């Protein structure tokens, strides 16, 4: 293994392991993918066993390290991480390797080869990447999820689609291509989040990803906590929408399209998506600031 892959504890024998990956950044609208992966890690009691040294892969001016205090006194630097966790999937007779982190800025091919080399070494049978994109979907309806694979057998077995996307890609696309070349069957799941509130974390989309992943793995995933968070999210966004007649009309139009399964038709009569995103994001941030206790200190 390359020195950039730092192994802290090699997992014991794994049973039919599946690799589940999610990355903050371009692939993570509404933080839904990393929210889902983090939720699974906590739900399954996952344990960290390895990570990838960020030094060669991350632009620290774009993704800055964070300073934190230990016991309120000692400062430490928290570096951007891509961390591997292992967990047993309840009632599934298989193990999971969770890769949660940040989209690298450099050396994507090298990064992906590190991941697929480890996956091959651990006997990973299936790789599943989680992603989220912004789209013309309403926050009041379940988040749509699409699933794609490059292996026709997987497409038939799991009810997916053959990947026909052409255009710019992120680390998720590069990693899937690396898995294909390494002979590891792979699936890509993408949830859609409302573009007018894309900066706020989206529990509905995270829930939808977990539910679709449960179908891929032929198991149940308890999404009770995500469902509660999703209800609160819908309530808060709806309150924000109600403060502006144009925004409310726009969301109603999206609801009509969603209900008729015509989600992506465009209309010049609708308000600017960028303007709506800025307004609702501002509202949610102000609400969050009102709910949080004041903080002291700085620097």
Cα–Cα distances in Å, from 119 out to 35, 148, 182, 266? Answer: 22, 20, 10, 42
pLDDT range class, residue 285, cuts 50, 70, 90: low
pLDDT given at position 199: 82
What is the sign of the dihedral through the CA atoms of 61, 64, 115 and 185?
Answer: negative
pLDDT given at position 226: 97
What is the sign of the dihedral through the CA atoms of 27, 30, 33 and 34?
Answer: positive
Q: Does residue 295 carry a pLDDT above 70?
A: no
Per residue in 163-179, pLDDT (tens digit) is: 777 788 899 999 999 99
Q: How far apart are CA 254 and CA 243, in angstroms?
A: 17
Q: Does residue 294 carry a pLDDT above 60?
A: no
Which class is domain 5-223? alpha beta
pLDDT given at position 265: 41
pLDDT range class, residue 271, cuts 50, 70, 90: very low
pLDDT given at position 70: 79
What secondary structure does DSSP assign to the chain, as a single string?
Answer: --TTEEESS-----SS-EEEEEEESTTBGGGHHHHHHHHHHHHTT-EEEEEE-GGGT--TTTS--EEEEETTTEEEEE---EEEEEEEETTTTEEEEEEEEE--SS-HHHHHHHHHHHHHHTT--EEEEEEEEEES--TTSPPPEEEEES-HHHHHHHT-EE----S---HHHHHHHHHHHTT--EEEEEEEEEGGGTTS--HHHHHHHHHHHHHHHTS----HHHHHHHHHHHHHHHHHHHT-HHHHHHHHHHHHHHHTT--S---TTSPPHHHHHHHHHHHHHHHHHHHSPP-----
Per residue in 137-165, pLDDT (tens digit) is: 999 999 999 988 878 888 888 888 777 77
The backbone torsions φ and ψ at residue 254, rounded to the nearest 5 degrees and listed phi first, read -65, -40
All structural domains of the chain with their residue ranges: 5-223, 230-291
Per residue in 243-269, pLDDT (tens digit) is: 988 889 999 999 988 888 644 444 444
Per residue in 80-121, pLDDT (tens digit) is: 999 999 999 998 889 999 999 999 999 999 999 999 999 999
pLDDT given at position 6: 94
pLDDT given at position 267: 40
Q: Regarding predicted confidence, which is higher, 297 or 187?
A: 187
Q: Does residue 33 carry a pLDDT above 80?
A: yes
Mean pLDDT of 223-230: 96
Q: Does residue 11 carry a pLDDT above 60?
A: yes
pLDDT given at position 279: 53
- Mean model confidence pLDDT for the chain: 86
Per residue in 49-71, pLDDT (tens digit) is: 999 999 999 999 999 999 988 77
pLDDT range class, residue 283, cuts 50, 70, 90: low
pLDDT given at position 148: 87
Q: Does residue 214 carry a pLDDT above 60?
A: yes
């Amino acid at each position: 293994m390359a020195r950039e892959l730092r192994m802290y504890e090699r997992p014991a024998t794994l049973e039919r392991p599946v690799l589940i990956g999610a990355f903050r950044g371009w692939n993570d609208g509404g933080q839904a993918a990393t929210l889902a992966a983090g939720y699974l890690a906590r739900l399954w009691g996952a344990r960290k066993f390895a990570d990838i040294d960020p030094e060669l892969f991350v632009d620290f001016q774009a993704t800055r390290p964070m300073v934190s205090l230990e016991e309120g006194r000692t400062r430490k630097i928290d570096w951007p991480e891509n961390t591997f966790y292992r967990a047993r999937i309840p009632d599934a007779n298989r193990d999971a390797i969770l890769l949660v982190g940040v989209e690298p800025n450099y050396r994507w091919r090298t990064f992906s080869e590190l991941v697929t080399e480890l996956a091959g070494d651990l006997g990973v049978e299936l790789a599943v990447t989680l992603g989220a994109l912004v789209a013309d979907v309403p926050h009041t309806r379940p988040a749509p999820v699409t699933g794609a694979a490059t292996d026709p057998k997987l497409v038939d077995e799991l009810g997916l689609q053959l990947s026909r996307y052409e255009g710019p890609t992120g680390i998720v696309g590069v990693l899937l291509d690396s898995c294909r070349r390494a002979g590891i069957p792979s699936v890509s799941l993408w949830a859609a989040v409302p573009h007018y509130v894309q900066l706020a974390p989206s529990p509905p989309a995270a829930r939808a990803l977990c539910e679709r992943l449960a179908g891929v793995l032929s198991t149940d995933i308890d999404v009770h906590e995500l469902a509660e968070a999703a209800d609160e999210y819908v309530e808060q966004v709806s309150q924000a929408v109600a403060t502006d007649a144009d925004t409310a009309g726009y969301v109603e139009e999206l609801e009509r399209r969603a209900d008729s399964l015509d989600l992506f038709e465009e209309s010049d009569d609708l308000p600017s998506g960028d303007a709506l995103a800025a307004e609702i994001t501002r509202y949610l941030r102000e609400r969050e600031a009102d709910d949080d206790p004041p903080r002291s200190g700085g620097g």
